Amino acid sequence: MIELNLPSLLYTSATINLVMIGVLLHTRVYRRTYPGFTAWTLAVVTNIIGQLGLIAYESNTQSIATNIFATFVIGMPILGWYGLRQFLDLKPNIFWLMAVFAASFTIIVLVSLQSETPYPRRAIISILTLGFCLAGLMDIRRHMSKFVQGGTELIQLGLILSSALLTARLVSIWPLLFDAGLPLENAPQNAYVILVLISVRLLWVLAFIMLTQQRLELELVQSQAKTQSLANKLEELNAELFNDSRSDALTGLANRRHFDEQFAREWERHYQYKATLSVIAIDVDHFKLYNDTYGHSAGDSCLTKIGETLSDIAKRFSSLAARYGGEEFALLMPSTDAQLAQVAAREILQTIEDLNCAFPASPTTKSRLSVSLGVHTTVPATSAVANSFIQEADKALYAAKRLGRNQVQVYGQD
């Protein structure tokens, strides 16, 4: 059977720590790491140095070298706790870390000078290690929200087991503090505690690697969500740009490009179904004179009001209202016969009259702004878009202007 004694366990612990170093370095090379990773690696390195040093100088309890290596041994819980706080973004102070190491070394030296046996030093190391394990456990519990859900069980288990085993070790060492004649090898329970602590170290490293992996997965999910959010915003911006390219900035109505595209679609659809298509051409009377008299700001205000009027009427007649030019507007009325189109045109005329945009200089009304309207209705006879249809509506509009403005004229009716 393998003899279970302190030197063999320390050699075994150092060997396992070398394996842990290899695992950590592999993670460093092939995976992205996070704050705290360097501290965890240094924790394992210092523990290896401390254990090998204690094997060499164990017989000389009061030597400075022994106390230095003992301090290296507790570097694992101190640096492990420091790395954990870095991982939690708690921004630990490097000078505070150095002060902890100095204080630990001082305590170990003072205790060692008071005793010729290694047991007081081992008790102090166990107490310090227990303290940092409990501090790490408290940090994890206090800042649980910074971990991936379900990612802390292993590390908490490792810290709890370590705390329990260190407590057991203190209990087992306690009688030896008062009985220097009993060597550690004659207290096998201490050896078993050290053996289990070696296994717990592996649990710690596995837990840290799992946390790193889960943080990678979390960042991947967050990155995908961010990418999707950016894609949605880009889609919204594209939709806004598309709408802006098809609408008039001043009135909010469709612009001429949108009107022409919709007219082409409606023409094709009405040709297929042999349906009646109507259009109303609208022009503001003497608008240049209005602008010259009251200014472009007042002119824009009137155009906005006219746009709102046409938008409301277009909704009621299931039509498309558009600003066709500077002061020219158009209403595209699918599946609308001549009679209904004339009703809509007269409603537009009356509603704009009710807006009462003051215009005493108007040669037509002598009091307010007015509009002239031309109406045209047809059943498309060919699939080719007939631009003459719009031109004929314009002819009706010109007839309204020629006959005195502020009126509705229908194409083909004298």
Residues involved in catalysis: 327
115: its two tokens:
């005793």
CA distance 347 to 353: 10
**Phi, psi (rounded to 5 degrees) for 329:** -130, 165
Q: What is d(CA 129, CA 126) in angstroms, rounded to the nearest whole number?
A: 5
Q: What is the dihedral of CA 37, 39, 40, 43, to 10 degrees?
A: 160
d(CA 92, CA 38): 14
Assigned token pair, 150: 């379900």
Per the DSSP assignment, residues forming a β-bridge with 247 are 254
Fill in the DSSP letter of residue 180: T
Looking up tokens 């004929």, which residue turns up?
392
Helix (H), strand (E) at residue 270: helix 256-273
Give the span between the Cα atoms of 169 and 394, in whole angstroms.
102
DSSP string, 67-110: HHHHHHHTHHHHHHHHHHHHHTT----HHHHHHHHHHHHHHHHH
What six digits make up the tokens of 273?
């179904």
Output the DSSP codes for 27-57: HHHHS---TTHHHHHHHHHHHHHHHHHHHHH
Separation between Cα atoms, residue 179 and residue 414, nearest integer Å: 129
Residues 172/16/70/115 CA torsion (nearest 10 deg) = 30
Three-state DSSP class for residue 72: helix
Stated as kind and residue range, the H or E segment containing 263 is helix 256-273
**What single-letter amino acid sits at 85?**
R
Q: Which amino acid is at 83?
A: G
Token pair of 251 as six digits: 């009135």
Pairing of strands 408-410, 371-378: parallel
